[in-house]
C-alpha cells in the first residue's frame, strides 16, 4: 500500500464498534443477568404493565428432583418466549414458576439414604428430611432455569409444600367432597407382607421366584352351548397364585378367541372329564399330562361364554363368565381366573362387570376368617397356603395338572421379599358421579382451544375412558387426606366442613400439623364426639396423589390473590404432550368438579426431546445431551435460538449437532448486528429525526418496506406461538435481504461518502431502524444478546433502559410501497442474479477479482425498455456493486438474455483506472490534479474533509 493510499484510507468511514464479534456468552450472559437483577427488571416490567390487559401463562410445576434436562430446557424456554413476547406486545403477563415438591421419588431417595435408620424414625422426622431434599433441588433448578434467561418471579415461586398451596388443595378437596364426588372403596395394590406396607410401582424390584403352576377345573352350572351335549361341564383355568383362588369370582374369556368343548380321559385315574379351554391350546394342554384319549365335542366363541355361571371349586359361591381383552393363548388355557381383590386387570374387569372385590388377606398376608375361606387356611400366610390349596384341589379331583417353575416376580425394594396384590380401602373421585365426566368432556369441547388441535381428540378419548380417580397413597411425603376414623367400627369422618377446618389449620401451620399435633387438636367441629369419643379416634394415614396436588394449582395459585397469577381461568397452559394424561387432565377434572369450568383458555403442547435419529434421549441409550453442560458450553442464547428454530408441535432433536447449527445461525445474526452497530458509531452525534425521508434512496425505502414485512410476519408468528416461523423469517431477512444484499450494496455509500453527507446519513437512518426493530424482535428469543445490542445504541430520552422494557416494533406505513422510486425491484433482483452468474465466469477466467473491476453493458430491443434501463442505470450500478453500468444500443456478441424480459447483459472488465480510495474503476480518476489517484466523488469528499479540518 502506498503512503497515499494509507492516507486516503484514513478518510474512509470504516465500521467500528465495541460489540465484539466473539459472543463469549458463557461469561457475558451471567453479567447481563446480574444487571437485570440489580435494576429489578422483572419488577419494573410488572410495574410498566400495570393496568394493561392480562394474559397469564400458568406454569406447570416440574418435580423438584435432579438437575434439569433438555426436556425442562425446551419447556421453560418456550414458556419464556411466550411470556416475553406477550409482555413486549403490551400485555400484563407475569410468570410465577412453581415446583412439585411432594411425592414418592423424594421420599424414596430420603429413605434409601437413611437405610436401616429409617425404620426407627417418625413420619415427622422423615418429612423434615424430605422437605430439605425438595428445597435443595428447588434452589438448584431455580438457578439452572434462571441461567437460561427465563424471566419470572423467582423470589416467591409457588411450591406445593407451601402452607398457602396446601390450603388450596384442601379447598379443592372440600368442594369435591361437598359435591359428592369423593368416596371410599376397595382396590388392590402392591403390598409388602413382610413390611406390612403398600408399595408403589417404582418400589418394586423384579427377581427370580418359584411359583406353582396349576390347571384347575371349575364346575359350570349354566351357559355351555347345548349342541355340545350333556355334561357335567367344567372350565379349566390356569394360575400361578393358588392362594388367590378363595377370592375368585369370575372366569374371563377373550371375546374373539375360539373355545373348545373337550372330553378327555385322565391317564392316571381313567375318569372322563368334559371341560372348556381355548381351541388353539387343546393340544398343548393335553400334552402336559400326555393325555392320549380326548376329543373336541364342539366349539364356540368367547363371546358365547359371557354370562354363563359356575360354582367355586371349594367355596359355596357362584361365579360368572366374563370377557376381557387381555386374555391370550400365550400361556394357560385361555380362561383366566379372575379375583378383583388380587389383580390389577382382574380389578378392572370387576369394575366393568360389577363384581365383588374379595380380599380375605390381612396386612401380614394371612388368611382371615371371612368370605368363606376354608377353616384350614385361616391364619396361614398366603405362600404357605399354596400347597394346602393344591392338596385340596388334588384330593377333590379338580386339579388337572401342577408343576413348579421359576420366573421373574416383583419383590419389595426394602424387604427383598415377594409382594402380593391385596385389596385395601382407597379414596376415589367418582368420574361418573354428578356427571363429572360429561361436564368435563363438554368443557374440553367448548371452553378450551387445543394447540395443536388433535390435543382435543387425545384428551377427550382419555377422559371418556378413564376409570374413577384413586387419590389416596400410602406414603408419608405429601398432603394428608384428613380423615378421622373410629377404630371400633367403620366410621370415617371426611366432610366439606371438616376438610375446611383442616384447610384453615394447614394455612397456618402447614400440613405438618396433621402429623405433629395430637388427635385432640384435630377434631373438626362437625364430628360428633358423643358417638365417637376422642380416645377412639385415629388419624387416617393416607396422603393425596401428587397429581391431585398439582392439579389443584388453578385454585392454590391462579385463584389465590397472593401469587399474582390470576385471573381464573388462565390464558395458557404449555406443557409436553404427555400431560394430556397428567396435569391437563387432573387440572380440568378438579376445576370442572369445583368451578364447573376449564381452568385454561388455551392448552399448548410440545413434543419430546429426541436424538438425531428421532429416538428418545435417555441416559441408558447414551444419547442424552446434558442441559446444564450445554448451557455452560454454548450459552443460553444459542440454546434458546435452537429451541426457537424448531416446530415443537413435533418431537424435536436437541442434540450436539442441532446446537452447532444454532451456533452458526447465532454467529450470522450477531455479525449482522455488529455491522449495523459498526456503522452507527457516529450516529449518536445527530438527531435521527433530522434526516429528511426525501433523502432516502429508493433501495433504502425498499429495505424499510422489507422490514415492515418482517415485523408483520414475526408478530403474527409470535401471536400464534409459531416461533420457528419467526426465527426463519428473521434469520433469512438478516442473511438474504441484509447481509448479502442491502448491507453489501450500502458499503460504498457508508465508507466513501462524506461522513455527515445526506447519502450516508440516509443509509444510517435505515440501519438505525433495522437495528432497533431487530433488537426487539429477537428479544423474546435471545434476551441477552438483544440486551447487549440494545445497550450499545447511545442513550436518548426515547430509549428504554432495557430492550425488555421497550415497546414491540410497529410497521411504518410510510414505507409500505413495494416499488419505491417507482422502480421494479423484482427486475433488479432478477438482473442481479444473471449478472452475477456472468461475473462469476469472468472471475473464473481471472479477468476480474471483485465486482468493482467490472463494467456491465445492458440494452433492450424494445425502445420503451431501453429508456427504462437508462433510468435504472445508477441503481443497477449500486446494487450490482460494479463500477459502471452502460446502456448500449446494440446487442454485442456473447451477451446473456434475461429470461422473459427482452433485456440482455454483458459483463466485461472496466477499462477505467481504479480510484485508490473507493476502489471503483472510474473515468474521472486523474481529473483532479490535487488528488490524481481519486475519482471525482472521492476527491470532493477528501477536499471537504480537509477544509473542515483545516
Binding residues: 575, 619, 915, 918, 935, 938
**Exactly one of 205, 391, 719, 840 binds RNA (CB under 7 A); which one?**
840
Decide if residue 665 touches RNA (CB under 7 A): yes
Decide if residue 206 touches RNA (CB under 7 A): no
**Exactly one of 9, 136, 407, 819 binds RNA (CB under 7 A); which one?**
9
Decide if residue 577 touches RNA (CB under 7 A): yes
Decide if residue 943 touches RNA (CB under 7 A): no
- What are 718-722's contacts with CB under 8 Å, separation 24+? 718/81, 718/85, 718/89, 718/780, 719/89, 721/82, 721/451, 721/604, 722/647
The answer to whether the CB of 716 falls within 8 A of the CB of 726 is no
**Exactly one of 741, 808, 825, 880 binds RNA (CB under 7 A); which one?**
741
Looking at the Cβ atoms of 737 and 791, the one nearer to RNA is 737
β-strand partners of 363: none
Looking at the Cβ atoms of 35 and 837, the one nearer to RNA is 837
Task: Kindly state the smallest distance separating residue 652's Cβ from RNA, in Å.
Answer: 6
Task: Kindly state the smallest distance separating residue 835's Cβ from RNA, in Å.
Answer: 9
Go through the chain and tell me how many residues it has. Answer: 950
DSSP per residue, 777-831? HHTTT-HHHHHHHHHTSPP-TTS-SSGGGSPPP---GGG--SSGGG--HHHHHHH
Q: Which three cell numbers stand for residue 237?
A: 383355568
Decide if residue 325 touches RNA (CB under 7 A): yes
Q: What is the dihedral of CA 168, 172, 173, 176, to 10 degrees?
A: 170
Decide if residue 407 touches RNA (CB under 7 A): no
**Exactly one of 678, 755, 780, 859 binds RNA (CB under 7 A); which one?**
678
- Which range touches RNA (CB under 7 A), out of 135-143, 450-458, 535-543, 765-773? 450-458
* Site map (CB under 7 A) of RNA, residues 579-618, x = contact: -xx-------------------------xx-x-x-xxx--
The answer to whether the CB of 314 falls within 8 A of the CB of 392 is yes
**Exactly one of 121, 425, 462, 898 binds RNA (CB under 7 A); which one?**
462
Rounded CA separation 411/489 (Å): 33
Q: ω before 16 within 30° of 0 (cis)?
A: no
Cβ partners under 8 Å of residue 376, min gap 6: 388
Looking at the Cβ atoms of 499 and 746, the one nearer to RNA is 746
Rounded CA separation 237/90 (Å): 69
Rounded CA separation 901/899 (Å): 6
The answer to whether the CB of 377 falls within 8 A of the CB of 246 is yes
- Which range touches RNA (CB under 7 A), out of 81-89, 228-236, 533-541, 669-677? 669-677
Looking at the Cβ atoms of 33 and 672, the one nearer to RNA is 672
Task: Kindly state the smallest distance separating residue 352's Cβ from RNA, in Å.
Answer: 12
Task: Kindly state the smallest distance separating residue 545's Cβ from RNA, in Å.
Answer: 12
Decide if residue 675 touches RNA (CB under 7 A): yes
Task: Kindly state the smallest distance separating residue 751's Cβ from RNA, in Å.
Answer: 5
**Exactly one of 917, 922, 931, 937 binds RNA (CB under 7 A); which one?**
917
Task: Kindly state the smallest distance separating residue 726's Cβ from RNA, in Å.
Answer: 11
Rounded CA separation 190/5 (Å): 87
Decide if residue 839 touches RNA (CB under 7 A): yes
Cell 421379599 appears where? 417
Q: Is 307 left (phi over 0), alpha (psi -120 to 50) or beta?
A: left
Task: Kindly state the smallest distance separating residue 917's Cβ from RNA, in Å.
Answer: 6
* Site map (CB under 7 A) of RNA, residues 94-133, x = contact: ----------------------------------------
**Exactly one of 15, 374, 566, 758 binds RNA (CB under 7 A); which one?**
15
Pairing of the two strands 600-606 and 570-576: parallel
Annotated binding site for L-isoleucyl-5'-AMP: 575
Task: Kindly state the smallest distance separating residue 229's Cβ from RNA, in Å.
Answer: 35
DSSP per residue, 565-599? --SSSEEEEEEEGGGGTTHHHHHHHHHHHHHSS-S
- Which range touches RNA (CB under 7 A), out of 90-98, 191-199, 829-837, 922-930? 829-837
* Site map (CB under 7 A) of RNA, residues 232-271, x = contact: ----------------------------------------
Task: Kindly state the smallest distance separating residue 18's Cβ from RNA, in Å.
Answer: 12
Decide if residue 5 touches RNA (CB under 7 A): yes
Cβ partners under 8 Å of residue 561, min gap 6: none
Q: Which 844-883 residues touch RNA, going by CB under 7 A?
A: 844, 849-851
Q: Which 624-663 residues touch RNA, going by CB under 7 A?
A: 645-647, 649-653, 657-658, 661
* Site map (CB under 7 A) of RNA, residues 330-369, x = contact: --------------xx--x---------------------
Looking at the Cβ atoms of 587 and 672, the one nearer to RNA is 672
Looking at the Cβ atoms of 398 and 772, the one nearer to RNA is 772
Task: Kindly state the smallest distance separating residue 510's Cβ from RNA, in Å.
Answer: 30
Annotated binding site for ATP: 619
Cell 464479534 appears where? 21
Decide if residue 909 touches RNA (CB under 7 A): no
Annotated binding site for Zn(2+): 915, 918, 935, 938
Looking at the Cβ atoms of 335 and 935, the one nearer to RNA is 935
- Which range touches RNA (CB under 7 A), out of 90-98, 767-775, 889-897, 910-918? 910-918
Task: Kindly state the smallest distance separating residue 48's Cβ from RNA, in Å.
Answer: 33
117, burial (CB in 10 Å: exposed 0-12, middle 13-18, buried 19+): exposed
Number of neighbouring beta carbons within 10 Å of residue 461: 11
Rounded CA separation 741/878 (Å): 11
**Residue among 948, 763, 747 nearest 851 (CA):** 747
**Exactly one of 63, 353, 683, 751 binds RNA (CB under 7 A); which one?**
751
Rounded CA separation 89/92 (Å): 9
Decide if residue 682 touches RNA (CB under 7 A): no
Rounded CA separation 742/850 (Å): 17
Task: Kindly state the smallest distance separating residue 696's Cβ from RNA, in Å.
Answer: 20
Q: How many residues bind RNA (CB under 7 A)?
A: 80
**Residue among 557, 546, 625, 619 nearest 586 (CA):** 546
* Site map (CB under 7 A) of RNA, residues 697-736, x = contact: ---------------------------xx--x--xx--xx
Decide if residue 901 touches RNA (CB under 7 A): no
Outline where 850-899 has alpha helix (H).
863-880
Task: Kindly state the smallest distance separating residue 93's Cβ from RNA, in Å.
Answer: 25
**Residue among 375, 557, 546, 362 nearest 472 (CA):** 546
Report CA 493 to chain centroid distance, whole Å: 40
Looking at the Cβ atoms of 368 and 740, the one nearer to RNA is 740
Cβ partners under 8 Å of residue 643, min gap 6: 73, 74, 77, 78, 81, 652, 654, 723
The answer to whether the CB of 804 falls within 8 A of the CB of 683 is no
Sign of the Cα pseudo-torsion (291, 295, 296, 297, in order)? negative
Decide if residue 747 touches RNA (CB under 7 A): yes
Backbone angles phi, psi at 698, to 5 degrees: -55, -40
Task: Kindly state the smallest distance separating residue 13's Cβ from RNA, in Å.
Answer: 9
- Which range touches RNA (CB under 7 A), out of 451-459, 563-571, 818-826, 901-909? 451-459
- Which range touches RNA (CB under 7 A), out of 136-144, 408-416, 664-672, 705-713? 664-672
Amino acid at each position: 500500500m502506498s503512503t497515499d493510499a494509507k492516507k486516503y484510507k484514513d478518510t474512509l468511514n470504516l465500521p467500528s464498534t465495541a460489540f465484539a464479534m466473539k459472543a463469549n456468552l458463557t461469561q457475558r450472559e451471567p453479567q447481563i443477568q446480574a444487571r437485570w437483577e440489580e435494576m429489578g427488571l422483572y419488577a419494573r416490567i410488572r410495574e410498566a404493565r400495570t393496568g394493561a390487559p392480562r394474559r397469564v401463562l400458568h406454569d406447570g410445576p416440574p418435580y423438584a428432583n435432579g438437575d434439569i434436562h433438555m426436556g425442562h430446557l425446551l419447556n421453560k424456554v418456550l414458556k419464556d418466549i411466550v411470556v416475553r413476547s406477550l409482555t413486549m406486545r403490551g400485555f400484563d403477563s407475569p410468570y410465577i414458576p412453581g415446583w412439585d415438591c411432594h411425592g414418592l421419588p423424594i421420599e424414596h431417595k430420603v429413605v434409601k439414604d437413611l437405610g436401616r435408620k429409617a425404620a426407627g424414625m417418625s413420619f415427622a422426622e422423615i418429612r423434615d428430611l424430605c422437605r430439605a431434599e425438595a428445597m435443595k433441588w428447588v434452589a438448584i433448578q431455580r438457578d439452572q432455569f434462571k441461567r437460561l434467561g427465563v424471566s419470572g418471579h423467582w423470589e416467591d415461586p409457588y411450591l406445593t409444600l407451601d402452607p398457602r398451596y396446601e390450603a388450596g388443595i384442601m379447598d379443592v378437596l372440600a368442594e369435591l367432597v361437598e359435591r359428592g364426588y369423593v368416596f371410599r372403596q376397595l382396590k388392590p395394590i402392591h403390598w409388602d407382607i413382610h413390611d406390612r406396607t403398600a408399595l408403589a410401582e417404582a418400589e418394586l424390584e423384579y427377581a427370580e421366584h418359584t411359583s406353582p403352576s396349576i390347571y384347575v377345573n371349575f364346575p359350570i352350572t349354566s351357559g355351555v352351548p347345548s349342541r355340545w351335549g350333556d355334561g357335567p361341564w367344567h372350565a379349566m383355568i390356569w394360575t400361578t397364585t393358588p392362594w388367590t383362588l378363595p377370592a375368585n369370582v369370575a372366569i374371563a374369556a377373550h371375546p374373539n378367541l375360539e373355545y373348545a368343548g373337550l372330553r378327555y380321559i385322565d391317564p392316571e385315574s381313567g375318569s372322563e372329564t368334559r371341560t372348556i379351554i381355548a381351541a388353539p391350546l387343546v393340544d398343548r394342554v393335553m400334552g402336559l399330562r400326555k393325555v392320549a384319549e380326548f376329543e373336541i365335542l364342539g366349539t364356540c366363541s368367547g363371546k358365547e361364554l359371557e354370562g354363563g355361571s359356575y360354582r367355586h371349586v371349594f367355596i359355596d359361591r357362584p361365579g360368572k363368565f366374563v370377557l376381557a381383552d387381555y386374555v391370550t393363548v400365550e400361556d394357560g388355557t385361555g380362561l383366566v381366573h379372575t379375583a378383583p381383590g388380587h389383580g390389577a386387570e382382574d380389578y378392572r374387569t370387576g369394575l366393568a362387570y360389577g363384581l365383588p372385590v374379595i380380599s380375605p388377606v390381612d396386612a401380614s398376608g394371612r388368611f382371615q376368617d371371612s368370605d368363606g375361606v376354608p377353616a384350614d387356611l385361616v391364619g396361614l400366610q398366603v405362600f404357605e397356603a399354596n400347597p394346602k390349596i393344591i392338596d385340596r384341589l388334588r384330593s377333590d379331583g379338580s386339579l388337572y395338572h401342577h408343576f413348579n417353575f421359576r420366573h421373574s416376580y416383583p419383590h419389595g425394594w426394602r424387604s427383598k421379599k415377594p409382594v402380593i396384590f391385596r385389596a385395601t380401602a382407597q379414596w376415589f373421585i367418582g368420574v361418573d358421579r354428578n356427571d363429572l365426566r360429561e361436564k368435563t368432556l363438554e368443557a374440553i369441547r367448548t371452553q378450551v382451544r387445543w394447540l395443536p388441535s388433535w390435543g382435543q381428540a387425545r384428551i377427550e378419548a382419555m377422559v371418556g375412558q378413564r376409570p374413577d380417580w384413586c387419590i389416596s397413597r400410602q406414603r408419608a411425603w405429601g398432603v394428608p387426606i384428613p380423615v378421622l376414623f373410629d377404630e371400633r367400627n367403620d366410621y370415617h369422618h371426611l366432610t366439606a366442613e371438616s376438610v375446611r377446618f383442616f384447610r384453615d389449620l394447614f394455612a397456618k401451620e402447614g400440613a405438618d400439623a396433621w402429623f405433629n399435633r395430637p388427635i385432640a387438636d384435630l377434631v373438626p367441629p362437625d364430628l360428633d364426639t358423643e358417638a365417637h369419643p376422642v380416645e377412639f379416634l385415629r388419624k387416617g394415614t393416607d396422603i393425596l396423589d401428587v397429581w391431585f396436588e398439582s392439579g389443584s394449582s388453578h385454585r392454590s395459585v391462579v385463584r389465590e390473590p397472593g401469587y399474582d397469577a390470576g385471573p381464573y381461568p388462565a390464558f395458557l397452559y404449555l406443557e409436553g404432550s404427555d400431560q394430556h394424561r397428567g396435569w391437563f387432565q387432573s387440572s380440568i377434572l378438579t376445576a370442572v368438579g369445583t368451578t364447573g369450568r376449564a381452568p385454561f383458555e388455551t392448552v399448548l403442547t410440545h413434543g419430546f426431546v429426541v436424538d438425531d435419529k428421532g429416538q428418545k434421549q435417555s441416559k441408558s441409550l447414551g444419547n442424552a445431551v446434558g442441559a446444564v453442560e450445554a448451557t455452560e458450553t454454548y450459552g443460553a442464547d444459542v440454546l434458546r435460538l435452537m429451541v426457537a428454530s424448531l416446530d415443537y408441535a413435533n418431537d424435536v432433536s436437541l442434540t450436539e449437532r442441532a446446537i452447532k447449527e444454532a451456533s452458526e445461525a447465532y454467529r450470522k445474526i450477531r455479525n449482522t448486528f455488529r455491522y449495523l452497530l459498526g456503522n452507527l458509531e457516529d450516529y449518536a452525534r445527530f438527531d435521527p429525526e433530522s434526516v429528511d425521508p426525501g433523502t432516502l434512496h429508493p433501495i433504502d425505502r425498499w429495505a424499510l418496506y422489507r422490514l415492515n414485512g418482517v415485523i408483520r410476519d414475526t408478530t403474527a408468528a409470535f401471536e400464534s406461538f409459531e416461533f420457528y416461523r419467526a426465527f426463519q423469517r428473521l434469520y433469512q431477512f438478516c442473511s438474504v435481504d441484509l447481509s448479502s444484499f442491502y448491507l453489501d450494496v450500502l458499503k460504498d455509500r457508508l465508507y466513501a461518502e462524506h461522513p455527515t453527507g445526506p447519502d450516508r446519513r440516509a443509509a444510517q437512518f435505515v440501519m438505525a431502524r433495522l437495528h432497533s426493530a431487530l433488537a426487539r424482535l429477537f428479544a423474546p428469543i435471545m434476551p441477552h444478546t438483544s440486551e447487549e445490542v440494545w445497550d450499545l445504541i447511545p442513550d436518548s430520552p426515547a430509549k428504554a433502559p432495557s430492550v425488555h422494557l421497550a415497546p414491540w416494533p410497529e410497521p411504518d406505513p410510510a414505507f409500505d410501497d413495494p416499488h419505491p422510486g417507482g422502480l421494479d425491484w423484482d427486475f433488479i433482483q432478477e438482473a442481479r442474479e444473471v449478472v452475477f452468474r456472468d461475473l462469476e465466469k469472468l472471475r473464473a477466467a481471472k479477468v476480474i477479482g471483485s465486482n468493482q473491476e467490472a463494467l456491465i453493458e445492458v440494452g433492450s430491443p424494445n425502445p420503451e425498455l431501453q429508456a427504462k434501463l437508462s433510468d435504472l442505470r445508477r441503481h443497477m450500478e449500486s446494487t450490482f456493486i460494479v463500477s459502471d453500468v452502460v446502456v448500449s444500443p446494440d446487442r454485442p456478441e456473447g451477451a446473456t438474455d434475461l429470461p422473459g424480459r427482452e433485456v440482455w447483459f454483458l459483463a466485461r472488465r472496466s477499462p477505467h483506472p481504479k480510484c485508490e480510495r473507493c476502489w471503483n474503476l472510474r473515468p474521472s480518476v486523474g481529473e483532479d490534479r490535487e488528488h490524481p489517484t481519486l475519482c471525482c466523488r472521492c476527491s470532493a469528499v477528501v477536499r471537504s474533509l480537509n477544509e473542515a479540518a483545516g
